[in-house]
Amino acid sequence: MKACFMGLGYIGLPTAIIAAKHGIDVIGVDINPQVVEMTNQGRLHIVEPGLEAYLQEVVKSGKLKASVKPEVCEAYFMVVPTPFKGNHEPDVTYVEAATRAVLPLLKKGDLFVIESTSPVGTTEMMAKLIFEERPELENEIFIAYCPERVLPGNVIYELVHNDRVIGGINSESTEKAIAFYSQFVQGTLHRTHCRTAEMCKLTENSSRDVQIAFANELSLICDKAGINVWELIQLANKHPRVNILLPGCGVGGHCIAVDPYFITAEFPMESQIIAKAREINNYKAFWCAEKVENAMLKFELEHQRKPVIAMMGLAFKPDIDDLREAPAKYITTKVMQSCNNADILVVEPNVSEHKVFKLTSYTEAYEKADIVVFLVAHKEFKTLPYRDDKVILDFCGIYKK
Ligand code: SAJ
């Protein structure tokens, strides 16, 4: 069995590596020659604990080879990004380009799978495209959608152990895809239709977005009501059927803050809660920035000097070095723009340097700052003792009491 993975990013590369480790001959394709070169040298271009050793092993054994061009295989996987356009409309041009790239190589009996998060109907749209260009393949190849669910940082384990939802354009396609994934997935493989599988992925991330929005909304209410939101949530969660997530400075990353738009763009009338959750989570970052600006003005009035402000954290969630679409980065930028004369210390313990922000160590920043703004609940910050001689804006629950 030879498989081709189109896209060697945060999901495509780990999946290609795990498939190769399970004995499948894999060709990993990326349009970026640097990614291809690094992969062939056994060097990881993404951050994922433990994965580089696996990469080196499969490159050495010859099971994984990277290239800028696909080759003839028996199975093809589209694992490319699906961003959104300016108006929050999903952009499937990468999926289409990857499909077009493998189109001339497809032959009778092949499996074609889309893993990229996609709006409902994308798999059928790509099937139509394939059969329009290659009518002789109709009913002769197998086409399915199989989204990933892995959590960055725990990818090696989750790729193998998570359950997966697999939806073909017909039941033969579903079975063919199940047979492929069962070579390396130990979780249960659930059969469905491709439209349901597409919607399932969007539903999972929208559900989390809505739940986080609920927590963020509570944090705004509690701020006005003079109630500690962390204590409140902890107490409410003592109810056997209540499980509220945690508020923060907004929702970041490339999944939860993006995927709900794939539903709202297509079903604007029906997706009221999903749309509102996106609004609330986006607003939360804006609200945090305003809180910092107000604290700064208050300090200036009281002390007749500009404060030193420590912005604690830039990553999109705790204990990772991934700054993609991070609300903390947005808040820090906004605060820096609005208080040009204040001394702002930027802290991110998981990153050694940054091309825009000059980074300060968390201990030094905490010591020097008049106003400390906790944006991300990194484990290092939780070791800092509470100081009541400082103004502390804790947006992520470092000091829950
Ligand atoms: N967040 C909160 N409060 C919480 C939990 C998270 O504010 O209680 C924030 C985080 O700080 C972060 C954002 O939400 O800014 C997203 O973080 P996350 O840990 O919820 O999710 P991701 O984006 O790292 O990964 C998600 C996962 N999806 C679900 O949990 C439903 C993962 O399983 C998916 O594979 C991934 O999206 C994806 O690729 O779609």
Does one domain contain both 316 and 371?
A: yes
Q: What is the pLDDT, as a whole number, of residue 135? A: 98
User: What letter would DSSP give residue 190?
Assistant: E
Is the separation of the CB atoms in 377 and 318 below 8 Å?
A: yes
Does one domain contain both 343 and 275?
A: yes
| Mean pLDDT for the stretch of residues 180-201 | 98
Among 386, 340, 351, smallest CA distance to 366 is for 386
Give the whole-angstrom CA distance, residue 268 versus residue 240: 34
221 in any annotated domain: no
Q: Which residue among 156, 165, 206, 208 has the greatest number of ligand 1 atoms within 8 angstroms of its CB, and so is best to mutate? A: 208
Q: Which residues of 195-216 are buried (b: 16+ CB within 10 A; e: fewer)?
A: bebbbbbbebbbebbbebbbbb
Q: Which of 136, 169, 187 is the last residue of a domain?
A: 187
Does one domain contain both 178 and 235?
A: no
Q: Calculate how far, in angstroms, residue 378's C-alpha sits from the geometric centre of ligand 1.
A: 15
CA end-to-end span of the chain: 56
Q: What does the pLDDT look like over 225-270, one tens digit per residue?
A: 999 999 999 999 999 999 999 999 999 998 999 999 999 999 999 9
22 lines ligand 1 (CB under 6 A): no
Q: Whose CA is nearest to atom 35 of ligand 1?
A: 149
Q: Dihedral sign for Cα 223, 227, 231, 233, please.
A: negative
Q: Which residue among 82, 202, 205 has the greatest number of ligand 1 atoms within 8 angstroms of its CB, and so is best to mutate? A: 205
Does one domain contain both 256 and 178?
A: no
User: What letter would DSSP give residue 192?
Assistant: E
Who has greater pLDDT, 112 or 339?
A: 112
Whether residue 400 is predicted with pLDDT greater than 80 in this model: the reply is no
Question: Counting atoms of ligand 1 from 1, which one is nearest the CA of 250?
Answer: 7
Q: What is the pLDDT, as a whole number, of residue 324? A: 87
Clarify whether 255 is annotated catalytic.
yes
Say how many domains are in the chain. Answer: 2
Q: What is the pLDDT, as a whole number, of residue 392? A: 97
323 in any annotated domain: yes
Q: What is the pLDDT, as a whole number, of residue 401? A: 66
Does one domain contain both 48 and 173?
A: yes
146, 249, 255, 339: which one is catalytic?
255
Residue 297 is encoded by which pair of tokens?
Answer: 């003005």
377 in any annotated domain: yes
Does one domain contain both 100 and 18?
A: yes
Give the whole-angstrom CA distance, residue 199 versus residue 204: 9
Q: What is the pLDDT, as a whole number, of residue 350? A: 92
Residue 236 is encoded by which pair of tokens?
Answer: 């409410």
248 lines ligand 1 (CB under 6 A): yes
Kindly report the average pLDDT of the chain as a whole number: 96
What range defines the domain where residue 349 resides?
A: 227-394
Is the separation of the CB atoms in 11 and 115 below 8 Å?
A: yes
Does one domain contain both 280 and 328?
A: yes
* Residue 47: pLDDT band with limits 50, 70, 90: confident
Does one domain contain both 160 and 249?
A: no
Q: Determine how many CB atoms are found less than 10 A away from the CB of residue 241.
A: 4
Q: Which of 135, 160, 187 is the last residue of a domain?
A: 187
Task: Check: pTM over 0.85? Answer yes or no.
Answer: yes
Give the whole-angstrom CA distance, residue 135 versus residue 126: 13
Does one domain contain both 119 and 234?
A: no
Does one domain contain both 53 and 182?
A: yes
365 lines ligand 1 (CB under 6 A): no
Check which CATH number belongs to the domain holding 31 and give it. 3.40.50.720
149 lines ligand 1 (CB under 6 A): yes
